[in-house]
Each structure stands twice: as structure tokens, then as C-alpha cells.
Amino acid sequence: MTSYQQIFENNQKWVAEHSASAPDFFTQLAASQAPDYLYIGCSDSRVTAEEMMGAAPGEVFVHRNIANMVVNNDLNSLSVLEYAVRHLHVKHIVVCGHYGCGGVKAAMQPKDLGILNPWLRNIRDVYRLHHAELDAIADVDARYDRLVELNVQEQCVNVLKSAVVQEQYLLHKIPVVHGWVFDLRTGLLKDLKLDYEHILHNIQQIYDLSDEVAQERNKAKEALPAEVTTETAH
């Protein structure tokens, strides 16, 4: 109970510190949120999004789950994605993994993990897609590190597959998707520097929504009053 009570003492100190430096801090915090970033990360207790990014409250919209997954039948992560892109209008979507991820390691163990099995199977699919590269890495730790990176890459691809992201990007050129890895051994973030345009181009043959977006855009124009359409043309 000591650690539990300490949480509320820490909370009171946090409130006092912010109120002293900015008396209207909580008034502004309660008013609204307009984050530029959606952060999709791992639930690992050692990896805290705002702290390692140096971000203040209200600057990052955060979603976390085991092994930072974006699964196409997970209504939780997809609802977060929809809300962040369509309603908060985030400019950046970050998928952030971390080296030493327990979820990634568990996925590669030949064990029955109960309800975790279908979730971790998605990571095994990442291994299947990249097994030639991964099997060529002799060092086991280095292989797991690379799998962490490839998992982030594939989750970024899953973000790009989503209708809401493609629609908003085709219309407004945002959000941009980034893949990061956090190194617990150094505390540093690594940008995987994924080629967003290249990945989008490669998946568009199957997941292309550009024609649909163009049709919706034309419908929206047709629904506008004539004088608005004329002014826009000028």
C-alpha cells in the first residue's frame, strides 16, 4: 500500500508544481486537445511515450498494446487511428517498438500462451515474411533486435493500409507515418527512416483508395452551392 499511497502524493506534488509555474495550466488542459502526434507503442512499463519524447500533456495522443501492433481486426487500435486522424487531425503517426520486447520474444517461443496466442501470431507472420533475412543472422540477440525493427515496419504498413490514413493523405498530404525503435540500453530513439512514399506506392495496387477518394471529392464539390464552386475555381 505504500507505493499506492505514494502515487497520490506524487500527483499532488505534480499539481502544485504546474500550478506554481503556470496558474492556468489545468484550465487550458481541460479546454481541448490538439496533438500533432499519434503514438502507437508497446505496453511495456519501461517505455513511456511523453517522457522519452520530451512532450508535454496534450501534445501526443497515445495508444499502447503488447508489441505495438496495428491489427486489422482490433477495434481498439483502429478506433484510436480513426479518431486521431479524422477528428484530431494529427500530422504524424509514430509506431514505436523497443529492443528487448517481451512480446516479440514470446511470439518466437514454442509455447502455448493461452489467449495471447492469436495476438502474437501476428508477430510470427512478420517473421514468416522476413524469415530469409532473419535466419541469416547468426547472433540470436541481433536477430531479435532486427525482428523488433521489422515488426515496427510491418505495423507502419498496416497503418498505411487503413482507409482513413490513405484518404487524409491523398487529400491533405498528412499524416506522415514514422517507424521508431527505443533502445532501453541507451535511452535513445532510433528513426528507422522508412520510405513512406515507396511503401505506399508498393501497396497501392492492392490497397489503393485514390479513385474512391477522387469520387468523394467530386461529390463534395457537386454538393456545394454554385457561387462557392466558382470562387474556389478563381
185 carries an active-site annotation: no
Cα–chain center distance at 125 = 19
CA distances from 167 to 13, 97, 106, 175, 221 (A): 44, 26, 35, 10, 16
Considering the candidates 18, 24, 36, 46, report the single residue annotated as catalytic. Answer: 46
74 carries an active-site annotation: no
Q: Could you identify the residue written with the cell 490513405?
A: 166
Which DSSP state fits 112? Answer: -
Considering the candidates 63, 101, 156, 178, report the single residue annotated as catalytic. Answer: 101
Q: In whole angstroms, what is the distance from residue 39 CA to residue 159 CA?
A: 12
217 carries an active-site annotation: no
Segment 156-159 long-range contacts (CB within 8 Å, at least 24 positions apart)? 156/95, 156/194, 156/199, 157/199, 157/203, 158/70, 158/71, 158/72, 159/40, 159/70, 159/81, 159/93, 159/95
Considering the candidates 96, 98, 145, 178, report the single residue annotated as catalytic. Answer: 98
Of residues 106, 197, 115, 117, the one with CA closest to residue 160: 197
Instruction: Give the residues across from 60 on adjacent strands.
Output: 37
Cβ contact 106:116 at 8 Å = yes
Considering the candidates 18, 24, 36, 42, report the single residue annotated as catalytic. Answer: 42
101 carries an active-site annotation: yes
Considering the candidates 44, 63, 96, 178, report the single residue annotated as catalytic. Answer: 44
64 carries an active-site annotation: no
Q: In whole angstroms, what is the distance from residue 192 CA to residue 18 CA?
A: 35
Residues labelled as active-site residues? 42, 44, 46, 98, 101
